[in-house]
């Protein structure tokens, strides 16, 4: 199993929207570095859902339920999507500001490449972020 982070604009599609739908396509990714990551996603992989914009926070976790496949709304097969299902909300949202303050995350793509919309998460970071979410907000 691999771990990922995927960004979304909550005004367009939020984690709450995914919870209401129960399953949806993760689409709209146009950056080829992010698409490369999406092509590696496998059923069973877990994904942090990150709200961009004013929130800039990790909100919850979804599970990848399909392999990457061509986006049926695109004519270029390089644009792929995966289907995801919501799994759980974090005990509290983890803000980008809070993550940046922790030196353990200084080399993570979320901190270094802020515009990348899909990125891997190491198992160490995955566990640490869950542990931080259990602590009171700082």
Across the chain, mean pLDDT equals 95
Per-residue pLDDT band at 137 (split at 50, 70, 90): confident
CA–CA distances in Å: residue 57 to residues 26, 36, 125: 18, 23, 15
Mean pLDDT on 114-135: 94
Helix, strand, or coil here: 117? Answer: coil
Q: For residue range 21-79, what is the model confidence (pLDDT) as tens digits?
A: 999 999 999 999 999 999 999 999 999 999 999 999 999 999 999 999 999 999 999 99
**64 and 45 in contact (C-beta within 8 Å)?**
yes
Number of domains in the chain: 1
Number of residues that make up the chain: 138
Whether the pLDDT of residue 125 is over 70: the answer is yes
Which residue intervals of 79-122 are DSSP H helices?
Answer: 96-101, 109-112
Measured CA to CA, the distance from residue 54 to residue 128 in angstroms comes to: 24
Whether the pLDDT of residue 91 is over 70: the answer is yes
Record the tokens describing residue 52, joined without a space: 């961009």
Q: Which CATH number covers residue 13?
A: 3.10.590.10
pTM (predicted TM-score): 0.95
Q: Where in the sequence is the domain holding 14, given as residue range(s)?
A: 3-134
């Amino acid at each position: 199993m691999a771990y990922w982070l995927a960004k979304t604009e909550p005004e367009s599609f939020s984690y709450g929207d995914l919870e209401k739908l129960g399953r949806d396509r993760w689409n709209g990714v146009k950056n080829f570095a992010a698409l490369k990551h999406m092509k590696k996603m496998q059923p069973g992989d877990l994904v942090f859902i990150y709200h961009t914009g004013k929130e800039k926070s990790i909100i919850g976790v979804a599970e990848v339920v399909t392999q990457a496949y061509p986006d049926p709304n695109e004519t270029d097969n390089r644009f792929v999507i995966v289907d995801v299902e919501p799994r759980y909300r974090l005990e509290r949202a983890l803000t980008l500001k809070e993550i940046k303050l922790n030196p353990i995350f200084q080399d993570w793509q979320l901190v270094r490449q802020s515009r990348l919309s899909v990125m891997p998460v190491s198992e160490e970071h995955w566990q640490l972020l869950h542990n931080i979410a259990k602590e009171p907000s700082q």
